[in-house]
Amino acid sequence: MKNLSLFILTVLIFTCFSAQAFSQIPAPKQSTPIALTGATIHTMAGATHYNGTILFEDGIITAIGTDVTLPDGTEIKDVSGKYIYPGFIDAWSQIGIFEISAVNMTLDLNETGPINPNVMVERAFNPGSRHIGVARSAGITTVVTTPGSGFGAGLIPGQSAAMMLEGWAWDEMTLKSGVGLMVNWPNPGNQRNYNNQLEQLRQAFDDARAYKRARTAMEEGNAPHHDFDSRWNAMIPVFEKEMPIVVSANDVRQIQDAVTFAQEQDVRVIILGGRDAHLVADFLRDENVPVLISTVQSSPGRWWEPYNAWYELPAKLHEAGVRFAIAGSSSAANANRLPFEAGTAAAFGLPVDVAVKSLTVYPAQILGLDDRIGTLEAGKDASFLITDGNPIEYKTRVEQVYIQGRKSDMNDMHRQFYNMYYEKVQQRRAE
């Protein structure tokens, strides 16, 4: 008991210290029109504007190009010689629900039980996470926070949500709720267990569809009262094709079975992971099934695979005509590596412009966010980054991020540590 109390006290002290040392104050909402001038603006919508201007008001882009008329009262900022790109989208993330792996009370990845389609991950999102600033400094403006990974993850762990990395509370940071219903496809290594879990999955979909029919009949006056069930009610958008199922699957059999299951259920499907997607690329292309590649910077997991199996996966899918995006690892602590995942893919055959699109345009299209983000166009959110070069190159520095017109604090935890130890070195040299 004494040891437990000491542990809890230590965690509280550490948490308080961390909050004090690394807290970042969210930027205020945009109050006046802002125009950034002189930059090379990569809209990722076809046009690249050299010595261009981007104008945004109330968090929305109102004009972009080389001949932009500025309204009275516009705040003009000269960013000549810099580059502007749409903000990156981390399409598979634990940011906001994962803090310190060794401290269970800071983890909120899974709920009890295998079937939880009603879990809305944004309600658990921690807007004060120290990982937010680090990811933002890498150019990530939106993360698709996703429940259900690691030990204890269920078959249907809940719904993912697109979260903006700026704001005071989860509700103002939510760009879109219900981005996808997460499904962890069973491992076919154990046939009996595989069949049992598939049966559970089919039963869940059957029960949810029966619930939808009963509720519809009740609302139309053709059936008696049917009690509300939050689990099955949460799956109605899936059957109406408003929300896809995002299936975690890497093995060839998993991928094929998941797509076949989605066709049987008449629902939209996205493959997450996709290690063997290139082996069934024609099938995925013909069925118009997109893939969120879960990692590029990884070594192969099977003895017969070449060292560059993951590195070349994006290029192979691109060449085959499969819709894809690079999601990278879900790790909150390593989210800042996302641009380099795309950079590695570019080094192994993926065209550079396509590599950038795999973090911007493509995930926005695949996840239904392209009406708001993914490209820089009038009417879309003013969520973008200012750099001194191509953002997927290791040497490039992201100098500033704007999220819905808010100018983000760029002094993240990593930079604070750098400044602290840089000062230590300077003091030691002066002694």
pLDDT tens-place string over residues 218-243: 988 888 888 999 999 999 999 999 99
Residue 22: predicted pLDDT? 55
Residue predicted with more confidence, 87 or 11:
87
Total residue count of the chain as it appears in this document: 431
Residue 150: predicted pLDDT? 58
Three-class SS state of 345:
helix
- Name the one residue in this structure whose structure tokens are 């935890």: 413
Radius of gyration of the chain (CA): 23
Q: Is 424 exposed, middle or buried (0-12, 13-18, 19+ CB in 10 A)?
A: exposed
Residue 24: predicted pLDDT? 77
pLDDT tens-place string over residues 249-287: 999 999 999 999 999 999 999 999 999 999 999 999 999
Report yes or no: 109 and 98 within 8 Å, Cβ to Cβ: yes
> Which range, of 11-20, 289-298, 310-319, averages the lowest pLDDT?
11-20
Residue 80 pLDDT exceeds 50: yes
Residue 310 pLDDT exceeds 60: yes
Handedness of CA 34, 36, 41, 42 (dihedral sign): negative
Residue 59 pLDDT exceeds 80: yes
Q: How confident is the model at residue 18 (pLDDT cuts 50, 70, 90)?
A: very low
Q: How confident is the model at residue 60 (pLDDT cuts 50, 70, 90)?
A: very high
What would be the CATH architecture of the domain defined by 21-85+375-431? Roll (2.30)
What share of the chain has pLDDT > 90, as a percent?
Answer: 79
Q: How far is CA 25 from CA 20, 250, 286, 352, in A?
A: 11, 40, 48, 35
pLDDT tens-place string over residues 314-339: 999 999 999 999 998 889 889 999 99
Residue 3: predicted pLDDT? 53
CATH classification of 88-373, choosing from 3.30.930.10, 3.40.640.10, 3.20.20.140, 3.40.630.10?
Answer: 3.20.20.140
Domain coordinates in residue numbering, the chain:
21-85+375-431, 88-373
Report yes or no: 413 and 22 within 8 Å, Cβ to Cβ: yes
Residue 101 pLDDT exceeds 90: no
Which positions ≥6 away from 215 have C-beta within 8 Å? 226, 228, 233
List the one residue out of 377, 382, 334, 384 whose CA is nearest residue 359: 384
> What would the mean pLDDT of 179-196 be, rounded to a whole number?
93
Residue 408: predicted pLDDT? 96
> What would the mean pLDDT of 116-137 be, rounded to a whole number?
95
β-strand pairing of 245-249 with 269-273: parallel
Q: How many CB atoms lie within 10 A of CB 129?
A: 19
Residue 159 pLDDT exceeds 90: yes
Any alpha helices (H) in 124-190, and if so which ranges?
Answer: 130-137, 170-173
Q: How confident is the model at residue 55 (pLDDT cuts 50, 70, 90)?
A: very high
> What would the mean pLDDT of 138-157 be, rounded to a whole number?
87
Distance CA 135, CA 105 (A): 22
- Name the one residue in this structure whose structure tokens are 């695949």: 366
β-strand pairing of 60-65 with 48-57: antiparallel
Report yes or no: 384 and 374 within 8 Å, Cβ to Cβ: no
For the record, the structure tokens of 61 come out as 């882009």
For the record, the structure tokens of 403 come out as 């999220």
Q: If residue 88 lies in a helix (H) or strand (E), which one and from where to where?
A: strand 88-93
Cα-based torsion angle of the residue sequence 398, 381, 46, 179 in order, rounded to the nearest 10 degrees: 100
